[in-house]
């Protein structure tokens, strides 16, 4: 069992380095060990499957990732309490997979389930809950459901300000997302100050040449051009 944990740890390290072909056999080895060593439907076995699913998703191997996520969610129903935060994480990740494929009607109920679990499982104003709200807002934004996305973005921003700080790097992501929403609706005068705030944070956190910073800068410049035209 310890060997499986060590394999998972090393595989995760390789995944973060983009060394996918080295990570995959380690994850598979951990699965084989825990399949024998652990009782059926053990949470650690779900962890092994989830890790491999995340690897496949990051490579765009969606058809291989999907059944693993589904198996994880089935194990969660048996092995974990109904409102365990790990369940919300797994539901969110399967929803992200569906969203990446444009399967919005399948993603939405999973995001909503994750929100309901974390509403109960987590303390009020927990940053993970802000992440849940942001995920659903991005989905609604992709579908042009702007009036449903906006209050979710606003709530996520308030939570991050309370839970982390007014200068936390993750706040820049939330501000940029709300700015994009306003931008999509032609509400440029509302989008501009949000882009500016996000840009200031990105420059402080990542530096002026970082891809995140450059993306926000381009968005801000385009928004200003739109207001002039």
Residues 194-223 pLDDT 10s: 999 999 999 999 999 999 899 999 999 999
| Residue at 15 is within a domain | yes
Single out the residue in 131, 164, 197 at which a domain terminates. 164
Confidence tier at 183 by pLDDT (50, 70, 90): very high
Where are the extended beta strands (E) located within the chain?
Answer: none
Are residues 100 and 74 part of one domain?
no
Q: State percent of the chain over pLDDT 90.
A: 90
Range of the domain at 14: 1-79
Positive or negative: CA dihedral 54, 55, 60, 65: negative
- Report the CATH number that the domain containing residue 137 is assigned in CATH: 1.25.40.10
| Residue at 169 is within a domain | no
How high is the pLDDT of residue 2? 85
Instruction: Report which secondary-structure segment, H or E, holds 122.
Output: none
1 pLDDT more than 70? no
Are residues 112 and 181 part of one domain?
no
Are residues 156 and 180 part of one domain?
no
How high is the pLDDT of residue 204? 92
Are residues 52 and 27 part of one domain?
yes
Are residues 156 and 86 part of one domain?
yes
Single out the residue in 112, 136, 164 at which a domain terminates. 164
Residue 178 CA to residue 216 CA, distance in Å, equals: 12
229 pLDDT more than 90? no
pLDDT in tens, 130-181: 999 999 999 999 999 999 999 999 999 999 999 988 888 889 999 999 999 9
Residue 104 CA to residue 176 CA, distance in Å, equals: 22
Please state the domain count of the chain: 3
Q: How many CB atoms lie within 10 A of CB 21?
A: 9
Residue 171 CA to residue 30 CA, distance in Å, equals: 36
pLDDT in tens, 33-67: 999 999 989 999 999 999 999 999 999 999 999 99
| Residue at 64 is within a domain | yes
Instruction: Please list, in sequence order, all residues whose beta carbon lies within 8 angstroms of the beta carbon of residue 135, skipping any fewer than 6 positions away.
Output: 92, 95, 96, 111, 114
Give this prediction's pTM: 0.88
Comparing CA positions, the residue from 188, 189, 195, 190 lying closest to residue 174 is 195
**What mean pLDDT value characterizes the chain?**
95
Are residues 154 and 95 part of one domain?
yes
| Residue at 194 is within a domain | yes
Over range 80-102, report the average pLDDT.
96
The span from the first CA to the last CA of the chain, in angstroms, equals: 63
Single out the residue in 164, 194, 212 at which a domain terminates. 164
Are residues 193 and 147 part of one domain?
no
């Amino acid at each position: 069992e310890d060997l499986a944990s060590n394999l998972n740890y090393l595989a995760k390290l390789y995944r973060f380095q983009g060394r996918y072909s080295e990570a995959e056999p380690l994850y598979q080895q951990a699965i084989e060990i825990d399949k024998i060593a652990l009782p059926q439907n053990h949470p650690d076995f779900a962890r092994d499957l989830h890790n491999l699913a995340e690897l496949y998703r990051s490579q765009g191997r969606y058809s291989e990732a999907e059944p693993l996520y589904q198996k994880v969610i089935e194990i969660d129903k048996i092995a974990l309490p109904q409102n365990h935060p790990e369940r919300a994480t797994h539901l969110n990740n399967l929803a992200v997979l569906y969203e990446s494929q444009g399967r919005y009607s399948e993603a939405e109920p999973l995001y909503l389930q994750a929100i309901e679990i974390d509403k109960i499982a987590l303390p009020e104003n927990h940053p993970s809950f802000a992440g849940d709200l942001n995920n659903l807002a991005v989905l609604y934004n992709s579908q042009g459901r702007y009036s449903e996305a906006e209050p979710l973005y606003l709530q996520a921003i308030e939570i991050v300000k309370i839970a982390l700080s007014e200068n936390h790097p993750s706040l820049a992501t939330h501000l940029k997302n709300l700015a994009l929403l306003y931008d999509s609706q032609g509400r440029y005068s509302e989008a501009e100050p949000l882009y500016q705030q996000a840009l200031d944070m990105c420059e402080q956190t990542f530096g002026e040449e970082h891809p995140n910073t450059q993306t926000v800068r381009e968005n801000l410049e385009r928004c200003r051009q739109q207001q002039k035209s």
